[in-house]
Amino acid sequence: MGKKGKSRHKGHAADRAEVEGAAASPAAVPASAVPDAAQVAMRLNGSAILLLRRLHREDAAQGTSSTRLSALSVLVLGGPRTLGQLAEAEGVTPPSMTRLVTAMERDGLVARSRSVSDGRLVIISATRVGAELLHRGRDQRVAVLAGKVRALPAADQRCLDAAAGILEELLRPARRS
C-alpha cells in the first residue's frame, strides 16, 4: 500500500483489477477501531493471489513450473512419500500425480524406490538435482521479494515484518491436545 491507499505496484492491469476493491485502504478509520474481518480477509485473499501470480512468473522465468516446485517442496521438506501421499498433499488425483512424477523422474528431479517395510509400495524421493532446483527457485523468489521490500520506507518494512509474523501465527496448524 502506498500513500492515501493507492497501490504502488505496477503489475499487469488484470492483476490490479482483480484486487482493486480488496486492496483499497479503508477511508479514515480511527487507529483504535477494529477493522471488519471480512474486509481484511478479502484484502488478504486478493494480495495472496497477486503475490502467488508474480512468484509463478519467477518460476516460469527459471524454466520450471510451480506445480513441479510444489511437489518437490513436499518431498524435500517433508521427506519421501508414496505416490498416493504425494497426490493427497498436493490436492490432485493419483493419475495426475503419476503423470507429474513420471515427467519429473525423466528429468532427474525425483526417483522411485520400493519400500523397505512393504515391497509393494513405491516411494518417491527428491533427487539432489530436484532439491537444488527447489532451493534455486526459492532463492530467486526471495531475492525478487527482498528487492521490493528494500524499496519501501523503513516503517513499511517493519510493518511487513510484523504482518509476516502475524500471518505465520494465523496459518500455523492448530496443535492437537
Q: What is the pLDDT of residue 20?
A: 42
Residues 51 and 103 in one domain: no
How many residues belong to the chain?
177
The x, y and z cell numbers of residue 153, run together, are 520506507
Residues 41 and 71 in one domain: no
Q: Rounded to two decimals, what is the model's pTM? A: 0.69
Q: How far apart are CA 101 and CA 82, in angstroms?
A: 11
Mean confidence (pLDDT) of the chain: 83
Specify the number of domains making up the chain.
Answer: 2
Q: What is the pLDDT of residue 22?
A: 39
Residues 70 and 122 in one domain: yes
- Contact by Cβ (8 Å): 112, 123: yes
> Is the pLDDT assigned to residue 24 strictly greater than 70?
no
In a domain, 110, yes or no: yes
Residues 116 and 73 in one domain: yes
Q: By residue range, what is the domain housing residue 44?
A: 13-23+37-56
Q: How far apart are CA 65 and CA 57, in angstroms?
A: 9
Q: How far apart are CA 128 and CA 109, in angstroms?
A: 8
Helix, strand and coil in the chain, % to nearest 5: 65, 5, 30
- Contact by Cβ (8 Å): 79, 68: no
In a domain, 116, yes or no: yes
**How many H helices and E strands in the chain?**
7, 3
Residue type, 100: L
Q: pLDDT per residue over 55-92, tens digit each?
A: 888 888 878 888 899 999 999 999 999 999 999 999 99
In a domain, 41, yes or no: yes
Residues 71 and 46 in one domain: no
> Is the pLDDT assigned to residue 120 strictly greater than 90?
no
- Contact by Cβ (8 Å): 86, 101: yes
Q: What is the pLDDT of residue 60?
A: 83
In a domain, 29, yes or no: no
pLDDT confidence tier of residue 29, bands split at 50, 70 and 90: low
- Contact by Cβ (8 Å): 127, 110: yes
Residue type, 9: H
In a domain, 89, yes or no: yes
Residues 90 and 44 in one domain: no
- Contact by Cβ (8 Å): 124, 79: no
> What mean pLDDT is predicted for residues 119-137?
93
